Copies of this chain bind each other. A is one copy, B any other.
């Protein structure tokens, strides 16, 4: 009965459904049976997908209807010295990507940063959000509900925090649109990315709102959270970690290692990353920050769909006296070192490589460190890409002068 081929037969016969398999076989056998079914139905060979090295049972909290694994190349960039609020020391960054030249670009930038004594990084704000939408009769009732919320912050906190041993409710911000009341709950979720924690706590608090006011809960997420959507509310107010990394590079280093000048980089950054993004009506004023975010997210088990909010970043470059100042500021980097995909085999190893697997001391420190390290990696990518297009002109200029 636990022979994968037999199970696949029963799937094809309609005796079993895909999601029922887990009741009839262990996780790896079930995955094989589904894979067999898929191979038969589509006349394909899925043996590479079947060549995963983790135990399927370990992934049960991460996926349903599993058939195997996707394998994505992983590399390292560094080392780089980081003076962070939480990350402190020298680090190799793990990046999983299929985009050629990305790792080389980050590596080149990190090398320039390292040669300048390293980057500084700080988490400047932190909070995971969940924003249910409630229906009321109209604006008069909305006013009452908002008033009740303002008067009952302590009760809402008690309800919310009753569901979690770690999480803390930081704020509840109300927004009224006609007969809709949105309440944006903000939580400190420590080392967890925190979406589940925030959702469960908010459900409990929402029940209190429903029982004590005329408001009717429509949806636990009313899209003012805002999760996995490009939204100005996150770019402005932040979600997860707001984190900045910066560095000053001497003129010599810019000239010798990056083959350009602080002035050229500042100007190039303004034309492309500021003015270009302004004209595009963008929330991302950077060159390719999402590349580093995505690559470290994949390596360390973060939620790949949250790369969306991870792209809300502003890169600045300015020529100072004899140096270049460069920074990148992420508004909404949603990361964790516990829960989600962080427990899987390769992902937890990548976090170990950074020395920040599991819960931090104090709680939240590991997730803060991860945010800071991603910011430093992205800063490196920005320096490298901007220098690349600026140096082109320098060399062109040299050629022209040489004639």
A 20-52 binary contact with B (CB < 8 Å = 1; else 0): 000000000000001000100110111111011
Q: Which of B52, B146, B222 contacts A276 (CB 8 A)?
A: B222
User: Which residues of A in the span 34-79 have a Cβ within 8 Å of any Cβ on B?
Assistant: 34, 38, 41-42, 44-49, 51-54, 56, 59, 61-77, 79
Q: Is the CB of A219 within 8 A of B389?
A: yes
Q: Is the CB of B281 within 8 A of A235?
A: yes
Give the bracket for the number of chain A residues in contact with chain B.
35 or more
Known: A281-B281, A329-B176. A66 touches B71 (CB 8 A): no
| A69 cross-chain contacts in B, Cβ below 8 A | 71-74, 96, 346
Known: A283-B281, A288-B227. A347 touches B70 (CB 8 A): yes
Known: A282-B233, A344-B73, A389-B220. A103 touches B65 (CB 8 A): yes
A384 at the interface (CB under 8 A from B): no
**Chain B residue nearest in CB terms to A66:** B75
| A63 cross-chain contacts in B, Cβ below 8 A | 73-75, 95, 97-98, 100, 102-103
A293 at the interface (CB under 8 A from B): yes
Q: Is the CB of A298 within 8 A of B308?
A: no
- The 7 closest A-B CB pairs, nearest first, are A98-B341, A230-B230, A229-B284, A223-B276, A178-B327, A232-B232, A232-B281
**CB pairs A–B below 8 angstroms (6 shown):** A42-B352, A65-B77, A68-B346, A138-B248, A232-B281, A283-B283
Known: A224-B276, A228-B288. 12 other contacts (CB 8 A): A48-B53, A65-B103, A67-B74, A68-B73, A131-B276, A133-B271, A177-B329, A179-B246, A223-B287, A228-B289, A231-B280, A236-B237
